[in-house]
Structure 1
């Protein structure tokens, strides 16, 4: 599975906490885009896609949600509920996001700019894409 939970560098003193992520030091790519997700209703799911080349790190700053990650042969569930851990999602990983708490706040750091051609939004197409990759290996 091409994902990992990354413990973040957290500095703490009487003033509070500060979390740090630096390109190529704490994350395996240089960030080209950042976006955030908030006010997501717990009754709706998000995601339901994969990226061909894009890598991401997801930070849950507040609340919680669940990621279902799938590499075409294995499915695993990861709960994000701490600003001290980031979820690295590598390329060619199907992701679904669900079970959002009302106060969930996610920040996503991405390895490249938005490109709709990068997305695979149909699960059957994703499975075929993964089969093609495995045949070339």
Structure 2
């Protein structure tokens, strides 16, 4: 699959909106790990790596931030996440970092595999060779 901005269902209601996720109905993997990023200091960055086999979806549950993604052919794209009903799908071998965090932003990460340090590519040079 390719890097893609996914739109999740948004059920509008005067009492407040609701969005939901269901495995395999809305994205191409079973969730094995969930983590979130928050309290990123002003001007800070998160990420700065790629995965060899892991797939990931990043959602801005609250606030906003940018995800800068480089694919295996060297194309760089910036995604501004600021709506909780959108998720950025990242296939394996997608170099990413997040920046420009708004105050009190909360990023939710859904991963296709459990944490495995061996799956990380932490060197940009190694990423470009792969």
> Post-superposition, which runs of at least 4 consecutive aligned residues in structure 1 deviate over 4 A?
none
Q: Distance in 1 between matches of 2:101 and 2:7?
A: 21
Q: Deviations over 1:29-62 (max 9, x none)?
A: 0101101111111221111100011011111011
Q: Would you say how many aligned residue pairs link Structure 1 and Structure 2?
A: 129
- The structure where helix makes up a greater share of residues is 1
Q: Distance in 1 between matches of 2:62 and 2:42?
A: 14
Work out whether residues 8 and 86 of structure 1, in 8 Å CA contact, stay in contact via their aligned partners in 2: yes
Structure 2 unaligned runs (5+)?
none
Q: Distance in 2 between matches of 1:14 and 1:65?
A: 27
Q: Distance in 2 between matches of 1:92 and 1:2?
A: 10
Structure 1 unaligned runs (5+)?
130-137
Task: Report the aligned-residue RMSD.
Answer: 1.2
Query: Which structure would you say has the larger Rg?
Result: 1
TM-score (norm 2): 0.94
SS of residue matched to 2:31: coil
Give the 5 Å matches for 1:80-119. Answer: 80-119=81-120
- The structure where strand makes up a greater share of residues is 1
Structure 1 window deviating more from structure 2 (46-55 vs 5-14): it is: 5-14
- Matched residue, 1:15: 15
- Matched residue, 1:30: 30
